Structure 1
Amino acid sequence: MQHQPGYGHPESPERLRVIYEALDKDGLGRRFLRPQFLPADLDTLRLNHSAELVRRVAATQGKETHALDPDTHASARSHEAACLAAGALIDGIRRIFQGEMDNAFCLVRPPGHHAEQESSMGFCLYNNVAVAARWAMRNLALQRIMIVDWDLHHGNGTQESFHDMQEVLYLSVHKYPYYPGTGAAMENGTDKGEGHTINVPLPGGQGDLEYARVFNELVVPVARAYQPELILISCGFDICKGDPLGDMQVSPEGIAWMTRKMVEIAAEVCKGRLLVTLEGGYNLNAIRLGALAVLAELSGEPIAGWPVNLSAEKAEELAQAKTKVKCPALEQAILIAREFWPV
């Protein structure tokens, strides 16, 4: 909450405040563990970022305002918040593997998936999900981690981090062409990582049915083929209807359904080891309802009185999405992915 990117900036502390207030209302948050955890130290951040970037971001500590790029600003405690954000993911993964938690949703700021190895950008100081994946490879000896990114914007930083590796499969569903300009369908990894980057570049205006097709026909089959030991989700609520930075039309029920599919496939392939982390989303009502939708599905059972519960009728409609909606961008992505994943 102390990361202050500046007056009028869309990535404001209000994004978390509305989620916290919803969880505190009527004791809803008591269903979930809310553990204390340590920040990521500088050596851990350097698993994914250059020493120069870590030095540059750390140097903002105590400064009231500092621009890291035209739309990425730090305040006096931003570096502290960024270290805690990465630390939250690491702690969540550790607790999942130790059996203390079934799964996790890291409500963090600043977001991370745009931060590259050498640069902070796109509201992101460090790449939380990439740092956590690197930590898991080093400390848990994981050899197959799947990152699913459904933020409105392509996660250029995450793709850059793992484009030449087999140990991480990065699958992004995003608006294209759009910021940051990466994420074309033909970007599918290099060297040993060829085929381990999968991009689904959608036009604007896509809703629940289009996203359901992507998950039914690409995300789930690839997860079955890859057999990850851990699934990480970069969850952006800027795909929701009404977001000021986007024009996608996904509903809270659509968010719930996508989360349910990931819970199901994680149970099938990696003992339920699933961690969701907050990326973008700038409509406060959409981010509140989206976060509650994710938590309801992670809990594994309907929650009486919960603001978002996925109905059986809606779930069935999305399960049958293929017969109801055209999605040429998905069909192109499938043709490219099929070269590496015959399923």
Structure 2
Amino acid sequence: MATALFSHPDCALHEMGEWHPECPRRLQAIEDQLIASRIDPLLIHEDAPLADEAELLRVHRPDYVEHLRSLSPHDGYAEIDPDTRMNAHSWRAAMRAAGAAIAATDAVIDGRFDNAFCSVRPPGHHAEPDRAMGFCLFNNVAIAARHALDVRGLSRVAIVDFDVHHGNGTEAAFAGDRRVLMCGLFQHPFYPYSGDTPLAPNMINIPLAARTNGATMREAVDMMWIPALEAFKPEMIFVSAGFDAHREDDLGGLGFVEADYEWLTTQICAIAKRYAKGRIVSCLEGGYNLSALGRSVATHIKVLTEA
């Protein structure tokens, strides 16, 4: 078997203005680096399907989904908050991003692939059940995890989120759900100014001060995440793979480098191999310095291909 990469050209059509850091060039930077590092030939490329509304509603409220659909403009931009906009292609891109996560989940559970990475946008982990925010429209990882539980019949899934920002939307979706263990690390205090006090015992949060380096992060993960994941014994792991904690990324203030993402991915793969038949679906979240993003994603995917 192999590692799959799910993506679609629609994801590059969503844009929020020339000034916006969450830009289509992010996907091109990843593609270019995968080719340059000779990882691309190791991957099986899959087109992301469109999610359907019933799949969105496993996480998001019906009135929210309808409201977002109604905002979709024919031209120009519809502003959702100061950081988040929709253009004429955003709805379809968001449906592709959620669809990629669901399709990857099915493909991995069915044994077509060992694991998968979804190179998609818009990202998702800030999207709450009834609110878009922080560049996010639908919560791709949450939708996929709920699909694994409610449709595919898994009993326990873990979500690992190493974006520089707290995954407030994912935490809101699963706080108190004993079928889900969420392990997050993030800069704090920092947008969205949450997560320092977990909403429920199934949330293992690691707030990190600005300028924290990889060595400190690794120690915290060893102490807090690994024992919790070992005790939980997940049947599948979902990753909110944000790379904006890289020291070259100006949207964050942490000090990670590629070797830290390699180490994190190796730990995730080890847990997955022990308890989850190696099953991992990783979805792109943040990462806005294009060079650092490309290098970090390539490092992350390389470990997946070797798992």
> Do both share a fold (TM > 0.5)?
yes
Matching residue of 2:259: 253
Deviation at 1:27, TM superposition (A): 5.6
CA distance in 2, matches of 1:152, 1:110: 16
Whether the 8 Å contact between 1:188 and 1:198 is mirrored in structure 2 is: no
Deviations 1:64-105 (A, max 9, x none): 311111211011110100010011111111111111101111
Distance 1:284 1:36 in 2: 23
Where relative contact order (Cα < 8 A, 6+ residues apart) is larger, the structure is: 2
* Counterpart among 238, 250, 270 of residue 244 in structure 1: 250
Query: What's the CA shift for 1:183?
Result: 0.4
1:127 counterpart (125, 133, 139): 139
Between structure 1 and structure 2, the one with the greater Rg is 1
- TM, length-normalised to structure 2: 0.93
Partner-residue secondary structure (3-state), 1:8: coil
Q: Flag structure 1 segments of 5+ consecutive residues without an equivalent.
A: 190-194, 302-343
The structure with the greater share of residues assigned to strand is: 2
Question: SS of the counterpart of 1:173?
Answer: strand
1:164: how far off?
Answer: 2.2
What does residue 81 of structure 1 align with? Answer: 93
Quote the Cα distance in structure 1 between the aligned partners of 2:30 and 2:249. Answer: 16
CA distance in 2 between partners of 1:178 and 1:2 (Å): 29
- The counterpart of 1:178, out of the listed 179, 190, 194, is 190
| Unmatched segments (≥5 aa) in structure 2 | 1-11
Aligned to 2:116: 104
Identity of aligned residues (%): 36
Aligned to 1:115: 127
Tell me, in whole angstroms, the C-alpha distance in 1 between the residues paired with 2:94 and 2:111.
Answer: 26
Instruction: Tell me by how many angstroms 1:188 deviates.
Output: 4.3
Equivalence for 1:6: 17
CA offset digits 1:177-216 (Å, max 9, x no partner): 11111101x3241xxxxx1012111101111101211222
Specify the alignment match of 2:106 in structure 1.
94
Please name the residue that 1:19 is paired with. Answer: 30
1:270-300: per-residue Cα shift (whole Å, max 9, x none)?
Answer: 1101111110111111100001001110011
| Aligned position for 1:196 | 202
Distance apart, 1:63 and its partner CA: 3.7
The residue identity in structure 2 corresponding to 1:241 is R
Distance in 1 (alpha carbons) for counterparts of 2:128 and 2:26: 23
How many residue pairs get aligned? The number is 295
Matching residue's letter, 1:64: G
Pairing 1:45-60 to 2, within 5 Å after superposition: 45-59=56-70, 60=72
Deviating above 6 A after TM superposition, structure 1's stretches of 4 or more consecutive aligned residues are none
SS at match of 1:267: helix
CA gap 1:134/1:63 in 2 versus in 1, 3 angstroms? farther
Look up the equivalent residue of 1:51 and give its one-letter code: P
Structure 2 counterpart of 1:88, one-letter code: A
